Amino acid sequence: MNKFKSEINKKIQININYEFKSDDLLLMVFKHPSFILDNTNNYFERLEFLGDRVLGLTIADFLFKTFYDESEGDLAQRISELVSRKTLLEISNKLDFKQYMILLNGDKSSKVINDTILSDTLEALIGAIFIDGGFLKAKHFILSNWKQIVLNYKAPPRDPKSLLQEWAMANSLSMPIYNNYVKKGPDHSPIFSVRVKVKNLGSASGEGASKKIAEMDAALNLYKKINMKLLQ
């Protein structure tokens, strides 16, 4: 590893408050397949897969112990929000991931970096910490970055699809219909788009890393549009 990359590695470790035993493993985290011409960084995707599972288990355990009187449904709503792309992106931005990616992969990478890549990288980092230091180290990293977000939700968050459906029912309107599904981008980092429509009310589109996330985004956009009309 050259001196420049070594310095960046040190800055990343200070920022995330974890010291890696393997510098090469940390560098792998910031080598998203989109930055590689032949897209062969299979190990990144494996780290992302592992990190996603470690994150889910850690958050589920923390929710179970913190909100001991809540139902399974309420806990499910909380964890859905906490492991969502939106939350992952929020934490990735707080940790300055984009800056480190550009420094390690060159200025051209700035044109490739998007919200999905940033959130994928956070999951890969969690997987790498798990491999490098074990579950307790990964758990400490997760809770140090998620705990305050968890505690900020006094009540379980309501998902946008449920809010939109309940609003339509309360106003004697037809149920929201989701259609026009489109998938774009590479297989390892797809982006789905979808459109939601409520008859006699309007429609809105949304995007996300899965059909479910795209539907949530579309529902939220239409719900916001409805509220804007009501305020006019």
Domain boundaries, the chain: 3-152, 160-231
> What is the rounded distance in angstroms from the CA atom of residue 230 to the CA atom of residue 209?
31
Of 48, 81, 120, 123, catalytic: 123
Give the dihedral of Cα atoms 127, 131, 132, 136; nearest 10 deg: 80
> Is 52 among the residues known to form the active site?
yes
Q: What is the largest CA-CA distance in the chain?
A: 65
**Alpha-carbon gap, residue 209 to 116, rounded angstroms:** 7
Domain 160-231 has CATH 3.30.160.20: yes
Backbone φ and ψ for 196, nearest 5 degrees, come out as -115, 140
- Asked about 70 being catalytic, the answer comes back as no
The answer to whether 3-152 and 160-231 have equal CATH topology is: no
The pLDDT of residue 147: 93
Q: How confident is the model at residue 232 (pLDDT cuts 50, 70, 90)?
A: very low
Separation between Cα atoms, residue 129 and residue 27, nearest integer Å: 12
CATH placement of domain 3-152: 1.10.1520.10
Kindly report the backbone phi and psi dihedral angles of residue 194, in degrees, each rounded to the nearest multiple of 5, phi listed first. -150, 160
**pLDDT surpassing 70 at residue 40:** no
Residue tagged 């429609």 (tokens): 203
- Which member of 52, 81, 159, 215 is catalytic? 52
Please write the tens of the pLDDT for every residue from 46-75: 999 999 999 999 999 999 999 988 888 788
The mean pLDDT value for 76-94 works out to 89
Band (pLDDT 50/70/90 cuts) for residue 231 is very low
**Within its chain, how far is the Cα of 149 from the centroid?**
14
* Residue type, position 162, single letter: S
Contact (CB, 8 A) for 74 and 156: yes
